[in-house]
Amino acid sequence: MGNAETATNTIGVQYYETRLGVYDEMVATEHKVLPYWEHFIGALETMGSAEIEHRRREAQRLLRENGVTYNVYGGDAQKLTRPWRLDPVPLLISSEQWLTIEVGLKQRAELLNLVLKDIYGKQTLLKKGLLPTELVFGHDGFFHACVGTLPNQPKPLALYSANLVRGSKGRLWVLSDRTQAPSGSGYALENRTVMTRILADIFRETQVQRLGGFFKGLDKGLTAIAPHNKDNPRIVVLTPGPFNETYFEHAYLASYLGYTLVQGDDLTVRDGYVWLKSLEGLQPVDVILRRVDDSFCDPLALRSDSRLGIAGLLEAVRRGNVVVANPLGSSLLENPGLLAFLPKLARYFLNEDLLLPSVATWWCGQNRERDFVLNNLDKLIIKQINRKQGNQTIYGGRLSNKDKDNLRAAIIAKPYLYVGQEQFSFSTVPAFIDHHIEPRNAVLRSFVVANGDDYQVMPGGLTRVAREKDDFIVSNQAGGISKDTWVLATEPKTPVGVSLQSSGRNQFIDAVTEPLTSRAADHLFWVGRYLERIDGAARLLRTILLKYQDTLEFNEATDAQCLCVLLRSITHVTGTYPGFTKDSGKLLAAPEAELFSLAKDSKRLGSLAANIQAFVQSAFSIRDLWSQDTWRSVDNIQHRWQQRVINNDIATEALQSGLDELITGIVAFTGLTTESMTREAGWLMLDSGRRLERALKLVALLRATLVFRHEQAIQNQVFEAVLFSTDSLNIYLRRYRAFIQLPMLLELLLLDETHPRSVAYQLQQLSLHISALPRECGKSQLSEGERLIIKAYTDLRLSNVADLLKDDGDDGIYTALDSLLANTTELLWRVAEVIARAYFSHSQTSQLMTANSPPEDEL
Amino acid sequence: MKYRITHTTTYNYSQSVGLCQNEARLQPRDFWRQRCESSIFDITPTPVDFREFIDFFGNRVAYFAIQQPHRQLVVTVISEVTLFPRPDITGLLKQLSWEQVRGMLQEMPNHGSKPYQNQSQTQSEGQSQNQDSGQETLEARYYILDSPMIAAQCELADYARPSFQPDRPLLDVVRDLMQRIYTDFTYDPAFTTIATPLSEVLAHRRGVCQDFAHLAIGCLRSFGLAARYVSGYMETLPAQGQQRLVGADASHAWFAVYLPGTGWVEFDPTNNKLPFDQHITLAWGRDFADVTPLKGIAFGGGQHTLSVSVDVLRLEQ
């Protein structure tokens, strides 16, 4: 930015323009920096705008590399993930203020916990008239099937989250409660991790309370509620899958806490218990940390159209064989109508006043309140009590007269479904926007977990600010920016609780090897396959581009003929028919457009772009299994290809260097996985996918290039190109020190078991992997997969080059070679099918059977 | 009046099912006009996991899982039920108007201190009676609200309006409504499935007993009244001179409306009858979704076919 220089001078507080009458977190109402902000804002002033911007970008880079995303529904697959945005200016909260917040949050968590226990238990609140029946029964979060199914624990509400805002006089209010599957704690942790890197100096000088203790508390709390295996319960994180908006966080938390990340069909209910379908068979599950909405969790007892749940889960819960956190049905507490009743409930249950007040709310299910709302539509925010898509928050004042009449009619028709809320003027916080520090409206999401008999509050939270000035809509879906939240400690002290790692996976890794879910196995297998598809196509494309440049330069007939062979082969290898295969000459003479399409067109099956996308999607679906470094290498592959190749109108030279970089990226990923993965089921799956696909691609290439008899001059060129594109040219030359000849070429690429790029090597490895995979029927008999791969391997080994190249009648092809290659392909396809059937059991579909009684054909 | 009901459901699958979980609401519940003497399941293949419990509405539920591969599932329930003659309610028919009933249902209990105890607090007996009735009224309010398959809407209210004349006793209103549905609608099993929305039933004036029950319930709820769905069986008698056909009966459905002080009064719009001594009750809830007699989730199975046979046999008068 050109004005970066001048902007340097505008960071100080004298340039900070708050609005009249609005409380600001840094200057309150007096426009004088609060003492606990002084040091921090001083440090920023010294740093200057350009440096802050530099660090902001550094933060964005780190977040992107770590794969921190927030998915926005409705976009197409490519643009599905939106990078998480972090403001380098945190929200500071003094220790005294925090004390009040903490006590208030604990009280509120306990109060909601008691309401939950009552509604799903004796329903005294309804019987005594403390809560109207319409308010409870009219809310989508009440599930009659869940009555009586809460675990017998003091705190069934295991996780609680509140959205807090500060009003004009500096008082804190609760805007809404989150109890279904509160999200954000993982993002808060990741924000902190990044902040300690980009503002390391300031962070060190500031006494900030640490977050690790909260997650340790979460882990302890979840361990404590396990119904069985209390010493070492199996805890899983249930996610709707990679398309969910906060999937990053599901994977992140699972990996951080050492839990297995699962989707609904990774689990099954048998004998009234919940089991994890793993490669090693069924493993019992004790606790489910759910990030799936309650109605979707059990297609038998709840929503029958759900594909995200586990049939029979509620029955397992009813029998006390598994604990779900939060319990099924807890979204009941998110009902905004409840806010109006909380003060009374606090007195009833706790004999206390509500410490953190809620935003003023009128539930229209009562006549007086309904009339108030109808008479004050202009001044209020109108919400439906059920939070579902399409139910927008309505600012009454912004409606046209016609819309207002419609809204009135809707409220009168079903008043219990509506609340009116005061339009709240939030406090502002300093945010770094376009090189300036400016006040923005902010919401703080705080997090609470049940840890035994007590609630524990995260000292910090996820602060979100609106992008635009005076905007009150602060949400990730609407493109808000997040902030770290620094709760200051009163005095210097060693980090509270624990270092980040000690509550995480390191503690457990000695004790348990996590089972690999069949879904994760499936994705690993496909990561390996896509990787090899990319590698094979990239190397061949690079070879072709070189040859193409030769033809342009030297204009020799043999070059052109060799190019034709190679062009046809890339259509075969990538499976992008008809491509060059059905062409009479036009395409072959001017192949550029087709080659660029194979590189760039992500909508085209078999193209590099499409395979890269599929590779990243598969890898993202098991985000929890990758190390930070490995994920960065995945991200690099996609990011660079997108930036350098897809987004640009490039020439062939640039595509060449893009391909070089892509191949380097693949090698980095392969190296990292080879060096960092334990040789267990996960590795076996990944490498099996790679070996299988590499063999298939290689066989396809050999079939397309070597099976035909070419005339000598062309043949030499083709052989060289094949060796080059399989990274074997150097080896050949070193080993045979001779002119390239077909017998030796086949020896090297087909039969040499010591050469990692030969077909024989792939089959040998695949055969070892398959026999090492866990299976049910003991080891005395060969499995179907083993039998098939051994057959392919043996057929190959029993062949010899002389026979393969025998001249049998002259139809222009080596028949024996062709049929060996065809046979190998066929067997490998069957191996792939058998692996899928044996190990990817989650893919079995379920169906709802309803014996509809009313007379169908009987009468 | 005593009956034996044999209800058999058979699923045949084109491919093997590896696992299926089921919920059955096939055992008659007890209440004032009915006692279930016995109710026995016979399931093939035998489920490894079988457990009975009572649901939120007080219905009997059996959860069972078949965990071995199978191509056919047969669920038979044989129940013996005694029905008791119901008391004559004609004396009540003229009492409460529908507006009065709606008002009573809308009345909020006093928040906090003394709900439902506004009258006759001097007599402890009266108080406890009021409490019971208050409790029942409270529960009834769940049945005024929208449910998975029935949402109150203008079209339903418009259809029902002619029955809702001002100050008309509630039971007259409902009788009239039942009569109109019986007359206006054609019984047509080919027209609807479980998934057919009410608006379509209303638009085409066609459906089966389940649709007619849903329709009536939706009409009543649109006027702020509490109505519930009842699933069960009805004894069918062969036409004169014909043999009784075993297994030719069917499941049946009707509805009930809540009248404070009296309780739930049942109506059968399919037959334009007040259920008396031929209606055997299985379960009740807000609509069909709450009381689905048999539902399950099967893994695998390919295509499936379903057949149901019901036999209602009168054992004694």
Q: Is residue A507 part of a domain?
A: no
DSSP 8-state symbol, A748: I
| Mean pLDDT (whole number) for B190-198 | 82
Q: What angle (nearest 5°) sits at the alpha carbon of residue A243, between those of residues A241 and A248? A: 75
Q: Is the pLDDT of residue A3 over 70?
A: no
Q: Is residue A689 part of a domain?
A: yes
Q: Is residue A789 part of a domain?
A: yes
Same domain, residue pair A442 and A543? no
Instruction: Return the higher-pLDDT residue of A599 and A782.
Output: A599
Same domain, residue pair A383 and A264? no
Q: List pLDDT tens digits, range A616-631.
A: 999 988 988 898 899 9
- Helix, strand and coil content of chain A, in percent to the nearest 5, comes to 50, 15, 35
Element (H, E) at A733: helix A729-736
Q: Is the pLDDT of residue A283 over 70?
A: yes
Contact A300 B152 (CB under 8 A): no
Q: List pLDDT tens digits, range A103-138.
A: 999 999 999 999 999 999 999 999 999 999 999 999
Same domain, residue pair A295 and A384? no
Is the CB of A270 inside 8 Å of chain B's CB atoms?
Answer: yes
**pLDDT in the model for residue A1:** 40
Q: Which residues contact A189 (CB under 8 A, 6 or more apart)?
A: A211, A215, A252, A256, A500
Residue A599 burial (CB count, 10 A): 22
Residue with tokens 């069949």: A518
Weakest-pLDDT range from A13-22, A644-653, A793-802: A13-22
Residue A315 burial (CB count, 10 A): 26
Q: List pLDDT tens digits, range B63-83.
A: 999 999 999 999 999 999 999
Q: Is the pLDDT of residue A303 over 70?
A: yes
Q: Is the pLDDT of residue A245 over 70?
A: yes
DSSP 8-state symbol, A750: I
Q: Is the pLDDT of residue A706 over 70?
A: yes
Contact B55 A850 (CB under 8 A): no
Widest Cα–Cα separation across chain B: 69
Q: By CB neighbour count within 10 A (0-12 exposed, 13-18 middle, 19+ buried), where does B167 fall? A: exposed
Measured between CA atoms, the residue of chain B closest to residue A851 is B294
> Token digits for A245?
């908006």
Radius of gyration of chain A (CA): 32
Contact assessment for residue A108 and residue A354, using Cβ atoms and an 8 Å cutoff: yes
CA separation for the pair B99, B223 (Å, rounded):
9
Residue with tokens 């069957």: A830
| Mean pLDDT (whole number) for A430-453 | 92
Measured between CA atoms, the residue of chain A closest to residue B135 is A127
Q: Is residue A372 part of a domain?
A: yes
Q: Is the pLDDT of residue B112 over 60?
A: no
- The amino acid that residue B162 corresponds to is P
Nearest-CB residue to B56 (from A147, A413, A856) = A147
A 127-166 → B contacts, CB under 8 A = 127-130, 132-134, 137-138, 144-145, 147-148
Element (H, E) at A62: helix A49-65
Same domain, residue pair A320 and A223? yes
**pLDDT in the model for residue A854:** 36
Q: Is the pLDDT of residue A349 over 80?
A: yes
Q: Which of A670, A688, A570 is nearest to A630 (CA)?
A: A670
Contact B141 A134 (CB under 8 A): yes
Same domain, residue pair A441 and A408? no
Every domain of chain B with CATH number 2.60.40.2250 lies at 2-84+294-316
> Token digits for A640?
């660079």
DSSP 8-state symbol, A491: S
Q: Is the pLDDT of residue A9 over 70?
A: no
Q: Is the pLDDT of residue B88 over 90?
A: no
Give me the helices (H) in A152-236, please.
185-198, 200-205, 212-224
CA separation for the pair A463, A442 (Å, rounded):
7
Q: What are phi and psi of A783, to 5 degrees?
A: -80, 170
Q: Which residues of A471-510 are buried (b: 16+ CB within 10 A; e: fewer)?
A: ebebebeeebbbbbbbbbbeeeeeeebeebeebbbeeeee
CA separation for the pair A687, A679 (Å, rounded):
10
Q: Which of A325, A323, A328 is nearest to A151 (CA)?
A: A323
Contact B298 A845 (CB under 8 A): no
Weakest-pLDDT range from A105-114, A737-746, B157-166: A737-746
CA separation for the pair B63, B296 (Å, rounded):
9
Q: What angle (nearest 5°) sits at the alpha carbon of residue A54, between those of residues A52 and A55? A: 65
- Asked if omega into B238 is within 30° of 0 (cis), the reply is no
**pLDDT in the model for residue A557:** 87
CA separation for the pair A608, B217 (Å, rounded):
59
Per DSSP, the three-state class of A507 is helix
Contact assessment for residue A702 and residue A750, using Cβ atoms and an 8 Å cutoff: yes
Contact A856 B308 (CB under 8 A): yes
Look at the domain B2-84+294-316 and name its fold. Immunoglobulin-like (2.60.40)
Same domain, residue pair A182 and A243? yes
Q: What is the CATH number of domain B90-112+124-275?
A: 3.10.620.30
Same domain, residue pair A459 and A566? no
Q: Which residues of A touch B112 (CB under 8 A)?
A: 128-130, 344, 348
**pLDDT in the model for residue A472:** 60
**pLDDT in the model for residue A47:** 92
DSSP letters of A575-603? Answer: T--STTTT-SSHHHHS-HHHHHHHHH-TT
B 147-206 → A contacts, CB under 8 A = 152, 189, 193-194
Weakest-pLDDT range from A153-162, A475-484, B152-161: A475-484
Is the CB of A618 inside 8 Å of chain B's CB atoms?
Answer: no
**pLDDT in the model for residue A522:** 92
Contact B67 A132 (CB under 8 A): no
Same domain, residue pair A371 and A323? no
Q: Which residues contact A42 (CB under 8 A, 6 or more apart)?
A: none
| Mean pLDDT (whole number) for A158-170 | 90
Distance from the A686 Cα atom to the nearest Cα atom in chain B, whole angstroms: 27
What does each C-alpha distance from B78 to A544, B9, B26, B314 come to in angstroms? 76, 12, 9, 13
Bridge partners, residue B60, by sequence: B27, B54
Q: Report the domain count for chain A.
A: 3
> Token digits for B89?
């309610």
Same domain, residue pair A317 and A251? yes
Residue A556 burial (CB count, 10 A): 13
Q: Is residue A505 part of a domain?
A: no
Q: Is the pLDDT of residue A10 over 80?
A: no
Contact assessment for residue A427 and residue A443, using Cβ atoms and an 8 Å cutoff: no
Same domain, residue pair A531 and A401? no
| Mean pLDDT (whole number) for A351-380 | 95
**pLDDT in the model for residue A645:** 92
Instruction: Return the higher-pLDDT residue of A84 and A50.
Output: A50
> Token digits for A135?
């308010």
**pLDDT in the model for residue A292:** 96
Contact assessment for residue A113 and residue A94, using Cβ atoms and an 8 Å cutoff: no
Same domain, residue pair A626 and A728? yes
Residue A267 burial (CB count, 10 A): 25
Residue A778 burial (CB count, 10 A): 7
* β pairing state of A235-238 and A462-465: unpaired
Contact assessment for residue B66 and residue B73, using Cβ atoms and an 8 Å cutoff: yes
| Mean pLDDT (whole number) for A434-458 | 93
Q: Is the pLDDT of residue A843 over 70?
A: no
Contact assessment for residue B217 and residue B267, using Cβ atoms and an 8 Å cutoff: no
Q: Which of A326, A67, A76 is nearest to A179 (CA)?
A: A326
Q: Which of A458, A445, A446 is nearest to A215 (CA)?
A: A458
For chain A, what is the mean pLDDT?
A: 88
Q: Is residue A101 part of a domain?
A: no
Same domain, residue pair A452 and A562? no
Contact assessment for residue B144 and residue B150, using Cβ atoms and an 8 Å cutoff: no
DSSP 8-state symbol, B53: E
Residue with tokens 């926005």: A72
Contact B299 A844 (CB under 8 A): yes
Give the pLDDT band of residue A518 (cuts 50, 70, 90): confident
Distance from the A338 Cα atom to the nearest Cα atom in chain B, whole angstroms: 14
Give the pLDDT band of residue A717 (cuts 50, 70, 90): very high
Q: Is the pLDDT of residue A577 over 50?
A: yes
What does each C-alpha distance from B263 to A378, A516, B101, B282 come to in angstroms? 43, 56, 12, 18
Q: Which residues of A touch B72 (CB under 8 A)?
A: none
* β pairing state of B49-54 and A69-71: unpaired
Q: Which residues of A touch B248 (CB under 8 A)?
A: 858
Per DSSP, the three-state class of A705 is helix
Give the pLDDT band of residue A505 (cuts 50, 70, 90): very low
- Asked if omega into A154 is within 30° of 0 (cis), the reply is no
Contact assessment for residue B51 and residue B20, using Cβ atoms and an 8 Å cutoff: no
Q: Is the pLDDT of residue A244 over 80?
A: yes
Query: What pTM was estimated for this model as a whole?
Result: 0.86
- What is the complex's ipTM, to 2 decimals? 0.91
**pLDDT in the model for residue A18:** 79
Which residues span the domain enclosing A632?
518-843
Contact A845 B310 (CB under 8 A): no
Widest Cα–Cα separation across chain A: 99
Residue A604 burial (CB count, 10 A): 14
Element (H, E) at A849: strand A846-850
**pLDDT in the model for residue A479:** 60
Weakest-pLDDT range from A147-151, A778-782, B189-193, B275-279: A778-782
CA separation for the pair A161, A109 (Å, rounded):
8
- The amino acid that residue A595 corresponds to is L
Is the CB of B249 inside 8 Å of chain A's CB atoms?
Answer: yes
Q: By CB neighbour count within 10 A (0-12 exposed, 13-18 middle, 19+ buried), where does A458 fall? A: buried
Every domain of chain B with CATH number 3.10.620.30 lies at 90-112+124-275
Element (H, E) at A422: strand A418-422
Q: Which of A254, A258, A318 is nearest to A290 (CA)?
A: A254
